Amino acid sequence: MSYKAPVEQIDFILTHIVPFGELSRTERFAEATAETATAILSEAGKMASNVLAPLNMAGDSHPARLENGVLRSSPGFAEGFRAIADGGWVGVSADPEHGGMGLPQALNMAVAEMMSGACLALQLNPLLTQGQIEALEHHASDELKALYLPRLISGEWSGTMNLTEPGAGSDVGALTTRAEPAGDGTYRISGQKIYITWGDSDVTANVCHLVLARLPGAPRGTRGISLFMVPKLIPDDQGNPGVANSLKVVSLEEKLGIHGSPTCVMSYEDATGWLVGEENRGMAAMFTMMNVARLGVGMQGVGVAEAALQKAVAYARDRDQGGAIIRHPDVRRMLATGRAEVFAARAIGLACATAIDMARATGDAEQAARAALLTPIAKAYGTDVGIRVADMGVQVHGGMGYVEETGAAQYLRDVRITSIYEGTNGIQAMDLVGRKLSDGGEAAMRLLDEVLDGAKAAQAAHPDLAHQVWQAAETLREATLSLLERDMPQRFAGAVAYLSAFARVLGGHYHLRAALAGGEPHRAMARVFMARVLPRFAGDLAEAQAGLDDLAAISDEALAGDFAA
For 164-218, the pLDDT digits (tens) are 999 776 677 788 999 999 999 999 999 999 999 999 999 999 999 999 999 999 9
What was the pLDDT predicted at 196? 97
| Element spanning 242, H or E | strand 241-244
Judge whether 355 lies within some domain: no
pLDDT per position as a tens digit, 475-511: 999 999 999 999 999 999 999 999 999 999 999 999 9
Residue that is last in its domain, among 257, 280, 303: 280
Residue that is last in its domain, among 280, 304, 338: 280
Give the C-alpha separation, 271 to 277, whole Å. Answer: 19
Judge whether 192 lies within some domain: yes
Judge whether 106 lies within some domain: no
422 is catalytic: yes
Side-chain half-sphere CA neighbours of 229 within 13 A: 30
Low-confidence ranges of the chain (pLDDT < 70): 1, 169-170, 565
Judge whether 33 lies within some domain: no
Write the CATH number for 511.
Answer: 1.20.120
Judge whether 352 lies within some domain: no
Judge whether 323 lies within some domain: no
What was the pLDDT predicted at 43? 98
Range of the domain at 178: 158-280
What was the pLDDT predicted at 330? 97
Active-site choice (405, 422, 474, 485):
422
What was the pLDDT predicted at 284? 85
What was the pLDDT predicted at 516? 98
What was the pLDDT predicted at 565? 60
Q: How many Cβ atoms from other residues are within 10 Å of residue 184's Cβ?
A: 7
What was the pLDDT predicted at 169? 64
Number of domains in the chain: 2
Give the C-alpha separation, 191 to 176, whole Å. Answer: 7
Judge whether 515 lies within some domain: yes
Task: Report CA-CA distances (Å) from 121 to 58, 125, 162, 258, 529.
Answer: 11, 8, 18, 5, 31
Cα 278–chain centre separation: 27
Give the C-alpha separation, 333 to 212, whole Å. Answer: 47
Judge whether 559 lies within some domain: no
What was the pLDDT predicted at 165? 92
Helices (H), 319-403: 329-362, 365-397
What was the pLDDT predicted at 287? 80
What was the pLDDT predicted at 174? 80
Q: Which residues of 262-281 are buried (b: 16+ CB within 10 A; e: fewer)?
A: bbbbbbbeebbbbbbbeebb
Give the C-alpha separation, 45 to 39, whole Å. Answer: 10
Residue that is last in its domain, among 280, 305, 337: 280
Write the CATH number for 253.
Answer: 2.40.110.20
